[in-house]
Amino acid sequence: EEAAKAPDMIDAVIVGAGFAGLYMLHRLRAMGVSARIYEAGSDIGGTWFWNRYPGARVDIESQEYSYSFSDELEFDWQWTERYASQPELLKYINHVADRFDLRHDIQLDTRVTEAVYDETRDRWRILTDRGERISARYCVMATGCLSAAKEPDIPGAGSFKGETYSTASWPRDGVDFSGKRVGIIGTGSSGIQTITTIAPEVGTLTVFQRTPNFSVPAHNGPIDPAVAADWKANRDTYRQEERESGIGIRALDPGEALALEASPEERRRVYEERWARGGFCVAAGYADLGVDKAANDTLAEFVGDKIRSIVKDPETAEMLVPKTYPIASKRLCVDTGYFEVYNRDNVSLVDLIATPIEAITPTGIRTTAQDHEFDAIIYAIGFDAMTGALDRIDIRGRGGERLRDKWAAGPVTYLGLMASGFPNLFMVTGPGSPSVLSNMMVSIEQHVDWIADCIGHLGDHQLTTIEATPEAEQAWVAHVNEIADQTLYVQANSWYLGANVPGKPRVFMPYPGGVGVYREKCDEVVANAYEGFALTGATQMA
Ligand code: NA7
């Protein structure tokens, strides 16, 4: 009989070849740690590989949504647009992979299905969907926060005979919608970008909206050469400002001024000025906007009036104005002419609050009011955020405990980096870290650096394992909740709270205290000899 093949032995397995995984690989290799990335997709890029729907674009300015770890990279690379498009981001990621010679340690088309901690050896046993077995000291989950797409949770989904698309896994060759009758479900960032881009191309477009979203103008265009030059000239200062900031974007923090202390005229001036600049700065005019509902109402009203002024049909405009949650308590959308789309003759809006979908039918979508016939249906229905990608891997720690069971009532981590019972298993931008409330690039680099330094520390001190203590973990989760409860975030049914996935526990997942404060805490933990973590050494082993 053929003996079972011995597992491949390496120091570290990294799951995912997006921005997080690539930088992790780069750092570990530079330290002489053998590492390999396993990536489910047929190419690198993560989020920017899969989400190639029409109009896909980052909502943070290009020079800030990029790596800072290499001066040369930053000086050589030229972004062409203020907000980079998905193709340009993918080009950048491929440039990085080539430049740092990362590809030969990346295995594509390979999904990690299982990661099991072997307590007798203090190693992770990794299984892939190709049947490979790998044994690694460390396992880094660089699996992304918005990578596990939601399956259509609508009766009859699957019965539709026409073309079906999902923004989260768009065909690589694109889609020709010319002359077609298209229905789209979902008006989050992905839906808004898709709708705006395809509206002029399709025959007709019917938008099925459940919850209206606040969206602000991007004012995208070719990157201003002066902005690019200024960034390069001052990059060290600017990068430091990002790292110390609230959400990882420089010059955005509101300072001390309060909306409720400003006169209506002064507020209006501030809001207009920010509306003209565009992007997330619209929601950052005052310090009380995120914590005081009355203050928030002043901005929500301003943005609501903007929507009313853009959309010509008053009934449609009212349907598009969000009224049930504070502005920016759900992820703010950043658009390029979204609301204008509803002034087109070939676009119509269906309010699913008034007339819910009953079923997807073989010919289209049936609401309580009407049967709609389509040639194509697009799902832009979002993700099982933050925990979904981890839940989909069978991760088992000490005593065979499953991570998804441990997290049955909501994710529990220490610093969003590790979970007790799961030694040497690291998460990049895990639940409990700023992640989705921040410029992902800033958060990714901070986590990867922390993890790499930690692995270096273990090696330098002949230590075998690091593991969060249950006490530190409990205290951290309580701390995250305490901060969240002081914000308006908890007043919206958002994916930050798992509210978009039926049955998912309602727990606020990201750390809302800001990336600067968070970084200080992480550094403090290290300075205090990895406070809150248990470290074991080779000498302690039997
Ligand atoms: P989002 O922001 O979660 O948006 C999903 C949209 O799909 C949202 O409008 C949902 O309405 C809608 N949705 C989801 N399920 C349904 C069903 N069953 N019926 C009708 N409508 C539904 O995901 P995106 O991909 O757009 O954006 C994710 C993040 O990517 C974004 O925040 C940026 O960070 C980048 P709901 O609000 O649940 O009523």
pLDDT tens for each residue of 320-356:
999 999 999 999 999 999 999 999 999 999 999 999 9
Instruction: Determine which residue's CA is closest to atom 31 belonging to ligand 1.
Output: 189
pLDDT digits (tens, 9 = 90+) for 447-457: 999 999 999 99
The residue whose CB lies within 8 Å of the most ligand 1 atoms, and thus the one to mutate among 189, 280, 323, 441, is: 189
Q: What was the pLDDT predicted at 2?
A: 43
Mean pLDDT of 408-429: 98
Instruction: Determine which residue's CA is closest to atom 38 belonging to ligand 1.
Output: 500
Mean pLDDT of 154-173: 96
3-state helix, strand, coil in the chain (%, to 5): 35, 20, 45
Q: What was the pLDDT predicted at 458?
A: 97
Q: What was the pLDDT predicted at 1?
A: 37
CA of 300 to the centre of ligand 1 (A): 20
The residue whose CB lies within 8 Å of the most ligand 1 atoms, and thus the one to mutate among 323, 500, 501, 509, is: 500
Query: Count of residues for the chain?
Result: 542
Q: What was the pLDDT predicted at 542?
A: 38
CA of 380 to the centre of ligand 1 (A): 6
DSSP labels for 492-529? S--GGGTTTSTT------S-TT-HHHHHHHHHHHHHTT
Q: What is the atom index within ligand 1 of the atom nearest the CA of 379?
A: 7
Q: Is the ipTM above a cut-off of 0.95?
A: yes
**pLDDT confidence of 254, banded at 50, 70, 90?**
confident
Query: Across the strands, what pairs with 181?
Result: 204
CA of 99 to the centre of ligand 1 (A): 36
User: Running DSSP on this structure, what letter comes out for residue 468?
Assistant: E
Q: What was the pLDDT predicted at 474?
A: 97
Where does residue 91 fall: left (phi above 0), alpha (psi -120 to 50 degrees), or beta otherwise?
A: alpha
- Average pLDDT across the chain, whole number: 96
Tokens for 473? 């973990």
* 540 vs 536: CA distance, rounded Å: 7
CA of 136 to the centre of ligand 1 (A): 37
Burial class, 519, CB count within 10 angstroms (exposed 0-12 / middle 13-18 / buried 19+): buried
Instruction: Determine which residue's CA is closest to atom 12 belonging to ligand 1.
Output: 186
85's enclosing H/E stretch is none
**pLDDT confidence of 253, banded at 50, 70, 90?**
confident
pTM score, whole prediction: 0.97
